[in-house]
Structure 1
Amino acid sequence: MLSRLALAAALLWAGAASAQTSTLVATPAEYQQALRGVKPGDVIVLKDGVWRDFQILFEAEGRPGRPITLTAQTPGGVVLSGQSNLRLAGSQLVVSNLVFRDGWSPTGEVVSFRRSKEHRAVDSRVTGLVIDGYNKPDRATSDNWVALYGHDNRFDHNHLTGKNNVGTTLVVVRDEQQGLDNRHRIDHNYFGPRPNLGSNGGETLRVGTSADSLSASNTVVESNWFEGADGEVEIVSNKSGGNTYRGNVFYHSRGSMVLRHGDGNLVENNVFLGGGKPHTGGIRVINRHQTVRNNYMEGITGDGFTAALSVMHGVPNSSINRYHQVVGAVIENNTIIGAHSLFLGAGMDAERSAPPIDSRFSRNLIVNVDGHDPMRRLGDLSGVAFTDNIQARDVALVRGANGLLVPETPQGAGASPDLVMIPREATGVAWYPKDVQAVRLDQGAEIAVGPAEGALEAAVAAARPGDVLVLSPGRYAVDRTLTVGAPLTVRGSGQGRVEIAFSRPSLFEVAKGGSLKLAGLSVTGADAPDETGNAVIRVAPGSSAANFDLVLEDVEVRDLTVNRGFNLIALGKGVMADRVLLRDVRVDNITGSVISAAAETDDRGTYNAELVQIEGGAFSRIGGPVVDLYRGGTDESTFGPRLVIKGASFERVGSAERPSILMRGVQHAELVDNTLTDSGAISFSHRVGEPVLAVAGNRLVRTPEMQTDIAPIAAREGH
């Protein structure tokens, strides 16, 4: 039995041991010193400022109720830049209020819940973290911004935006060594805009991989906001079992919540707001014993794999990485309003021939006030019991206090009128903006430029993002390639003819971050040298330029003839334009293509332009195809490319051996009211998916009929 003195000493020691120590550190060396002496309950505070090239290893052992914390002096006051990253290892750790910006991780992860395979973080938390545009310089180099290892970790109230290279934004990594029952919680995060990647590997969130997908992760993903998450067709890729996706908002995001692998997952109380944006999707169901209930979808435009609701065919005796048959799915009490498509039996082909069985589709409310029937059924659906669903166009709807539409009169179907949509401001952090808008074309100052020697070159070099260079009448002789690294417009003043001649292989080279608009001017290639790869506008292979616009309006281009392959626009391997638009453009006497977008020939599903659009204009004496657009491979993770040509005139384009328009793997093509005279055939070939070739009103004069391996359909307004 302790004496009174010994008891007092023991109590004094216990009080000292539980006291929290807060240590402010200003350098990596001071951080290392503080970490060496850290005890449960202690806090290490990084001094506000920019910490460049700081690779943080936060390895320690806290205790329940007494975690060890690493935080910023003030929320958002610490910016980790250059080649920085963060690794956690140990237990009962908390990291908060840091910002990663202006650089990239030197490793494959920005934030990793492990030091090594043997040393992981468990029972730990990362909160109030910002990762903003912290991308590898080469968009084809893969990394994951956040990788959750171990078990019982939480990632919450974080802000992740602007990932534009290959790799998942947040991934749960599973293996038998660390244990497959992860029990992570991912909640209240703001997953901000992720631009279209144009290839596989653009998921915003993935839980597991196919290799371990037959086991349960038991991860909870709830109350997150996905905004503009456009990376690929799978916004969320579930690849394990036993997970819950609850109360998330998918706002104006291309793609779907996809139950790609794994059984026994629950998807409930989520809100999908497409806003009419192209390719917005809902939920795709694959595998066994999935439950999809009480979800709300409005304004979803996607079709096929990105329909508002897509239930797939499986592969009989499927390998683990393909498509297991849908068995025992429960899809009930969902509200779907103004959707373009619901697709039951999606993906049916010679391989995916196993229809859904032992499943139930009950008490769902489907409303399309425009009278359009969104239901699409394919194959044998006798294995799905349809009960008490309501599909109508005359259900009176009102906007509830939660911002969602509900029937004025209860229908006994659809999501609960009490469904709550988490507010955007309740996700992420309050101290970092969500509404930052990138500068676009024509948003800067107008700058007058005259035809004096070197004036245009100097103006391009000095231009700020979004500026408009207004060219006075005259001839501009350009003796160097003009590099465009930010949005830039070059246009004529409208007071007289503006002609640009160039004596380099290219007039413009669009670099990473650049977009270019030309308007109201003329370009001649008569002075260009004979070199490989000649083009008026070139986007170089390996530049990692992506998500840019090229716009030509009321532009005349002629005499690109110095060699046999002189293009107007040439997109190199590894680059991907959001839009290439030619409006009222006249091109005469060139040996190459007007638009060459066919560099991705390794057939991995990548391509060079999401949308190519020609409106009006005249094209004559063109040696190659006016448009050469290529997308090879059988990967199904992308939406494009899309080609639209309307009201254009083609004369002596291509030849008997060279098509006038060459489309390989294009997913959607519209050819309307065009005239082709003495030209090569239009060529369309199918590579993957269910491509659309819509034609109407085209006139062929001494031009062969279209060569295509799919049946064209009649183009219609708004198709």
Structure 2
Amino acid sequence: MTMLSVTLFPVTSYSAVENQLPRLAGDTPGVTDVVYNVEPEAAREVKVSTSTQLERAIAQATAGTTIVLADGTYTGSKALLISGKHGIKNSPITIKAANRGRAILAGADVLHIVRSSHIVVEGLKITNTGTDTRSVAVQLDGSNNVQLTRNTFAVPATGKKLVWLEIKGENSSHNKIDRNDFNGKSDPAPVIASSGHGDQMSQHDVIEYNHFRNVAFSKANGNETIRLGLSKLSFSEGHNKVQYNLFENCDGDLEVVSVKSGKNDVRYNTFINNRGGLTARHGHDNSFYGNFFFGDGVKEKVLGIRIYGNDHKIYNNYMEGITGDAIILDSGRYDGGSNGKPPQYTPEDLKSHWRVYRATVVNNTIVNSKVGITVGSTNTEKKYVPTGSWIANNIVANKTGILYHEASSTDTVFKGNIGFGGTLNNASRGPSEIVTVNPALTISDGLHKLSANSPAINKAVSDSKLEQRVKVTDDMDGQLRSKTDVGADEFSNAASSRKPLKASDVGPSSS
């Protein structure tokens, strides 16, 4: 019998683990396995007031160090570089403003966090504008477990392409971007651009409780507020979450949030009067649910959700005053196949609009909008129509226009939908597929919800094939569903745990 010899090596920091790992595991006689007992370091606070002091404090920082920046302006590439620094889970390295928003990063430099982990950056004002070789204000590069929290991004215009926050690099994962304010971007390029390394998307990142606002209109392509991936990452799984964010007047690109990777969740966000919407541009098996979309009914091209690719799920979304398509399963220019990864393809194929396979659109509510749910396209260049999709248990109550618009002839399954007010459909559908009935909505908390006498109550169609795709267990308010009502709202007397977000719910000052 082979005996397992285990030796405990107490070390004081993650960097110590990295330094000792090759030597201990390979050079210690009789040791067949190594267990590291990482001991938390004592918390240490370092106060700085100059760029030189900041540079020195970062260089000397270990797990548990908190660097506190006095009010003032900090510049210089070395002062803004965090490279090869590692905190540990309960003892991160923290860099924070003594007074939120009054420690300012400025100049033609980049806050560059590279090959680091368990770093917290809190309460700073970001005004630095990148360099000639790196057109980005803040960059997380090959790092993990980095948190950017309660910062104010107010980067002045340069007239050049400039990403305000980029997440990239090998082994990028588990980063958190929360409670920041991103306000007033007018330069080209995304506000947040998340990619990765090679063909692997950055994984398990969370973007939440941020306030995105006043992104200036641009005729150029590529000015998304959040870009989650790239065309070359189409086959990569992200497992990222974009949640509880408020987007207001984000007009830079028709894709306010552009998902270009797979297995991500975009949920519980509020979109207010943005010129654009949420798009699954590349990638497969993304879930879009519990979001609130509002337009004023006047501003053009205020959109909801548009998708391409395979196995996307759209449910529990509320849309009001949309002046474009509320939900569209578009036709594609390229057929990537049922499994979503063809044996042969080119870089140009990856950039194309991919055919929709097996989309699931259930329990959404659309009111007072221009177009409800659209399947297919009238664009003759988009010849690959959606296939294998389900549209079930939705409410569309628009005063004018087409409620359910089948722009192409497809094999889409319709079940249990309600339409009221405009033209029901441009194709022939029976009442078991789409029924014309007043859903008897009432205004509650500023939303069109089911009244006690609504015919939508307990009338959602149940189908085993549908539930294999997605099982809707609660509603847009976070209330549990019982027999399940049609639309995003479940009639209930229970308290709501989710509502449309306000400015006070997000950003640096939110709780």
Structure-1-length-normalised TM-score: 0.54
- Provide, for residues 449-493 of structure 1, a one-character-per-residue CA deviation record: whole Å limited to 9, x for no partner: xxxxxxxxxxxxxxxxxxxxxxxxxxxxxxxxxxxxxxxxxxxxx
Looking at structure 2, the residues matched to 238 and 31 of structure 1 have their Cα atoms a distance apart, in angstroms, of: 37
1:146 corresponding residue in structure 2: 165
- The one-letter code of the counterpart of 2:449 is V
2:308 corresponding residue in structure 1: 286
Of 259, 269, 272, which residue of structure 1 is paired with 2:290?
Answer: 269
The 3-state SS of whatever aligns with 1:61 is: coil
Of 189, 198, 205, which residue of structure 2 is paired with 1:176?
Answer: 198
Asked whether 1:49 is paired with 2:84, we answer no
- The one-letter code of the counterpart of 2:407 is L
| Alpha-carbon distance, 1:16 to partner | 10
- The one-letter code of the counterpart of 1:225 is L
Sort the Cα spacing of 1:73 and 1:299 in 2 relative to 1 into closer, same or farther, 3 A.
same
Asked whether 1:313 is paired with 2:331, we answer yes
Asked whether 1:39 is paired with 2:62, we answer yes
- The one-letter code of the counterpart of 1:166 is P
| Alpha-carbon distance, 1:195 to partner | 1.2
| Alpha-carbon distance, 1:317 to partner | 3.4
- The one-letter code of the counterpart of 2:447 is L
1:536 corresponding residue in structure 2: none
- The one-letter code of the counterpart of 1:203 is E
Looking at structure 1, the residues matched to 62 and 415 of structure 2 have their Cα atoms a distance apart, in angstroms, of: 60
- The one-letter code of the counterpart of 2:354 is H
| Alpha-carbon distance, 1:28 to partner | 1.7
| Alpha-carbon distance, 1:256 to partner | 1.1
| Alpha-carbon distance, 1:404 to partner | 1.6
Sort the Cα spacing of 1:17 and 1:253 in 2 relative to 1 into closer, same or farther, 3 A.
closer
- Provide, for residues 349-371 of structure 1, a one-character-per-residue CA deviation record: whole Å limited to 9, x for no partner: 44311111111000000012x35
Looking at structure 2, the residues matched to 384 and 395 of structure 1 have their Cα atoms a distance apart, in angstroms, of: 23
| Alpha-carbon distance, 1:428 to partner | 0.9
What are the residue-to-residue correspondences of 1:670-685 with 2, within 5 Å?
none
CA contact (8 A) 2:129 2:136 kept: no
The 3-state SS of whatever aligns with 1:93 is: strand
| Alpha-carbon distance, 1:175 to partner | 2.3
CA contact (8 A) 1:256 1:281 kept: yes
1:18 corresponding residue in structure 2: 41
Looking at structure 2, the residues matched to 206 and 246 of structure 1 have their Cα atoms a distance apart, in angstroms, of: 15
What are the residue-to-residue correspondences of 1:594-605 with 2, within 5 Å?
none
Looking at structure 1, the residues matched to 408 and 38 of structure 2 have their Cα atoms a distance apart, in angstroms, of: 71
Of 82, 88, 93, which residue of structure 2 is paired with 1:58?
Answer: 82
- The one-letter code of the counterpart of 1:422 is L
1:367 corresponding residue in structure 2: 397
Sort the Cα spacing of 1:384 and 1:310 in 2 relative to 1 into closer, same or farther, 3 A.
same
The 3-state SS of whatever aligns with 1:134 is: coil
Looking at structure 2, the residues matched to 274 and 337 of structure 1 have their Cα atoms a distance apart, in angstroms, of: 11
Sort the Cα spacing of 1:180 and 1:104 in 2 relative to 1 into closer, same or farther, 3 A.
closer
| Alpha-carbon distance, 1:424 to partner | 2.7
CA contact (8 A) 2:403 2:419 kept: no
Looking at structure 1, the residues matched to 164 and 321 of structure 2 have their Cα atoms a distance apart, in angstroms, of: 30
Sort the Cα spacing of 1:52 and 1:389 in 2 relative to 1 into closer, same or farther, 3 A.
same
2:409 corresponding residue in structure 1: 380
| Alpha-carbon distance, 1:15 to partner | 13
| Alpha-carbon distance, 1:247 to partner | 0.2
The 3-state SS of whatever aligns with 1:328 is: coil
- Provide, for residues 118-175 of structure 1, a one-character-per-residue CA deviation record: whole Å limited to 9, x for no partner: xx21111110111124322x2xx21211011211111111100111111010011122
Of 79, 94, 100, which residue of structure 2 is paired with 1:75?
Answer: 100
Sort the Cα spacing of 1:269 and 1:241 in 2 relative to 1 into closer, same or farther, 3 A.
same
Count of residues in Structure 1 that have an aligned counterpart in Structure 2: 402
- The one-letter code of the counterpart of 1:376 is H
Q: Any runs of at least 4 consecutive aligned residues in structure 1 with deviations exceeding 6 A, and if so which? A: 14-17
Asked whether 1:159 is paired with 2:181, we answer yes
- Provide, for residues 334-355 of structure 1, a one-character-per-residue CA deviation record: whole Å limited to 9, x for no partner: 0000110135244444431111
What are the residue-to-residue correspondences of 1:387-536 with 2, within 5 Å?
387-393=415-421, 394-401=438-445, 403-408=446-451, 409-410=453-454, 411=456, 412-417=485-490, 418=496, 420-430=499-509
Asked whether 1:338 is paired with 2:368, we answer yes
- The one-letter code of the counterpart of 1:176 is G
- The one-letter code of the counterpart of 1:322 is S
| Alpha-carbon distance, 1:53 to partner | 5.1
Give identity over the alignment, percent: 26
| Alpha-carbon distance, 1:79 to partner | 1.7
The 3-state SS of whatever aligns with 1:263 is: coil
- Provide, for residues 587-627 of structure 1, a one-character-per-residue CA deviation record: whole Å limited to 9, x for no partner: xxxxxxxxxxxxxxxxxxxxxxxxxxxxxxxxxxxxxxxxx
Looking at structure 2, the residues matched to 214 and 166 of structure 1 have their Cα atoms a distance apart, in angstroms, of: 27
What are the residue-to-residue correspondences of 1:631-670 with 2, within 5 Å?
none
CA contact (8 A) 1:53 1:80 kept: no
2:130 corresponding residue in structure 1: 105
- Provide, for residues 481-508 of structure 1, a one-character-per-residue CA deviation record: whole Å limited to 9, x for no partner: xxxxxxxxxxxxxxxxxxxxxxxxxxxx
Looking at structure 2, the residues matched to 259 and 427 of structure 1 have their Cα atoms a distance apart, in angstroms, of: 24
| Alpha-carbon distance, 1:321 to partner | 1.2
- The one-letter code of the counterpart of 1:332 is V
The 3-state SS of whatever aligns with 1:257 is: strand
2:231 corresponding residue in structure 1: 210
The 3-state SS of whatever aligns with 2:381 is: coil
- The one-letter code of the counterpart of 2:239 is N
Sort the Cα spacing of 1:363 and 1:38 in 2 relative to 1 into closer, same or farther, 3 A.
same
| Alpha-carbon distance, 1:17 to partner | 6.4
- The one-letter code of the counterpart of 1:415 is A
| Alpha-carbon distance, 1:180 to partner | 3.2
The 3-state SS of whatever aligns with 2:309 is: coil
2:25 corresponding residue in structure 1: none
| Alpha-carbon distance, 1:229 to partner | 0.4
Unaligned runs of 5+ in 1: 1-9, 115-119, 432-719
- The one-letter code of the counterpart of 2:215 is R
Sort the Cα spacing of 1:143 and 1:371 in 2 relative to 1 into closer, same or farther, 3 A.
closer
CA contact (8 A) 1:100 1:134 kept: no
Of 261, 272, 276, which residue of structure 2 is paired with 1:251?
Answer: 272
The 3-state SS of whatever aligns with 1:18 is: coil
Looking at structure 2, the residues matched to 174 and 355 of structure 1 have their Cα atoms a distance apart, in angstroms, of: 31
CA contact (8 A) 2:314 2:361 kept: yes
CA contact (8 A) 2:129 2:135 kept: no
Looking at structure 2, the residues matched to 231 and 374 of structure 1 have their Cα atoms a distance apart, in angstroms, of: 28
Backbone CA RMSD of aligned residues: 2.2
- The one-letter code of the counterpart of 1:399 is I
